[in-house]
Chains A and B, each alone.
Chain A
Amino acid sequence: MSDLELQSWFDDVAVPEGTVDMLASVAREAVRPFVRARRRRRAMVAAVATALAAATAAVAYELLDDDGLSVPAGPPPARVARLESPLLSKLPWLFQPSGAPRIDEVPEQPSLAFPAGTSYGEAVTRLFETVTGEGALPEEATLERALPVGVVAELGGAGRGIRIDLRAPWGYDLPAGRISAPGFIVDPGVPAEQIRKVLAGLQSGALPVGRLPKGIRVEVPRLAACQVMRPGVARTPCRLERGGGAAP
């Protein structure tokens, strides 16, 4: 069969009358929720950006220092805006106005369960995208009971997906136990100006959605074995400093 025959096979069909109106109607209806989300997002993105900018700036400083370039001044997150979401506004990885809190000193938060087959990296990337872009948790994930204190991720098994701890989805450092904010990896080819724009966007809340520009991606941290719960495998709790205190 020639290209021409193939093309005419595709083209040779009449679109039924009313189809275009029908699909346009579906589209109009589908974007209606965005009107409500827009107001929520504006407040959320600005506040989230303030919180994330500190972590981003640290990464960018390292990258830009090599070129002798400077970055915009960091934000003064003395006061984080009041948010509508009672859950998101309490997440210690998202808002750290007084520095990173310890994992064993923050209130319990639910875990977030993803569909089977989702990797840890996919889960945290998706979480970043929806929280910063939409001010919401990923729609494909569900809230479940909290993981034990100190467990960052529970790997799925037998049809279950991964669960991540909303207290510290990016983990915490050892032995201090300070909860990590999201980090970013910037490919070598990304122009410094692009990095500046991202920083400025995060600081001002001007990034329209949570998707980062090409070449800049959310860093997937390497978790210590004691931070991961595996099905059927006994876990040794992480030992935190300060008198040998341990995250159970």
Chain B
Amino acid sequence: MLSSNDGQLARAARSGSARAADELARRHAPTAWKVAYRLTGSRDLADEVSQEAFGRAFRGLGGFDVRRPFGPWLNAIIVNCARDALSRQRFTVDVDINLLPAPDAGRETALDLSRALAALSPERQTIVVSHLAGYSVKQIAESLDVPMGTAQSRLARALAELRSTLQTEDVDHV
């Protein structure tokens, strides 16, 4: 992740450069959509959430600190949009089976993981998806404005909670 270049692009975009906005968006779009998809479990919702998040993020670039990594900041917005979208859907997640891994066991795992991820707090969701999207602990720490040790421990707790929720679901399914 080229955070410094992201910062330059963000600075240019908020001055009205459509080209900079385009480049910054293209750089982050694939991962952002994956994050939205994994948070919602639905292709349609992922489209809706990622569009809403990109609109909010680029309209709100004035509030982005260009010294910090763009991706985790964007992820936090995606998390909020996903929660809004899911609450509008009354938590009935429309899962697109075709996009899930082929084996049956894998489908179950994917569903469980999406549910477990949705059960985390917004901050923990942001940390986990940023981690899975390839951001380092240092970048996550910068985006949260906390020391690296704090980010590390929050990530560990978030992953532990995710696994714990998965185990609980396993028990529920027995």
Question: Which residues of A are in contact with B by a Cβ distance under 8 Å?
Answer: 1, 5-7, 9-16, 19-20, 22-24, 26-38, 129-130, 133-134, 208-209, 211
Contacts and interface: CB of A to CB of B under 8 A. Distances in A.
B54 interface: yes
A7 B132 contact: yes
Contacts of B61: 31, 34
Contact of B21 (A9, A12, A27): A27
- Chain B's interface: helix, strand, loop or mixed, by majority? helix
A134 B60 CA distance: 11
Interface string B31-69: 011100110000100010011001101110111010000
B11 interface: yes
Nearest to B38: A10
13 contacts: A13-B99, A13-B100, A19-B30, A20-B29, A24-B21, A26-B25, A27-B25, A29-B55, A31-B14, A32-B16, A33-B59, A34-B16, A209-B62
B62 A26 contact: no
A125 B108 CA distance: 47
Contacts of A10: 34, 38, 129, 132-133
B151 interface: no
Contacts of B21: 24, 27-28, 30-31
Contacts of B133: 10
Contact of B30 (A20, A27, A33, A129): A20
Contacts of B13: 27, 31, 34
Minimum-distance CB pairs A-B, first 3:
A35-B16, A27-B25, A30-B58
A34 B113 CA distance: 39
A172 B65 CA distance: 32
Interface string B146-171: 00000000000001001100100000
A1 B163 contact: yes
Nearest to B132: A10
Interface of B: 11, 13-18, 20-22, 24-26, 29-30, 32-34, 37-38, 43, 47, 50-51, 54-55, 57-59, 61-63, 65, 99-101, 109-110, 113, 129, 132-133, 159, 162-163, 166
A140 B61 CA distance: 15
B26 A9 contact: no
Contacts of A5: 109
Given A6-B132, A19-B50, A34 B22 contact: no
A9 B109 contact: yes
B25 A23 contact: yes
A28 B26 contact: no
Contacts of B65: 211
A23 B50 contact: yes
A15 B34 contact: yes
Contacts of A209: 14, 62
A19 B43 CA distance: 11
B12 to A, nearest CB: 9
B62 A27 contact: no
B52 to A, nearest CB: 9
A208 B32 CA distance: 27
Contact of A20 (B26, B113, B132): B26
Contacts of A6: 113, 132, 159, 162
B94 to A, nearest CB: 15
Contacts of A36: 16
Given A27-B13, A38-B15, 17 more contacts: A1-B166, A12-B101, A13-B34, A16-B47, A19-B33, A20-B26, A20-B30, A22-B47, A26-B58, A27-B58, A28-B18, A28-B22, A29-B55, A30-B57, A30-B59, A31-B17, A31-B61
B14 A34 contact: yes
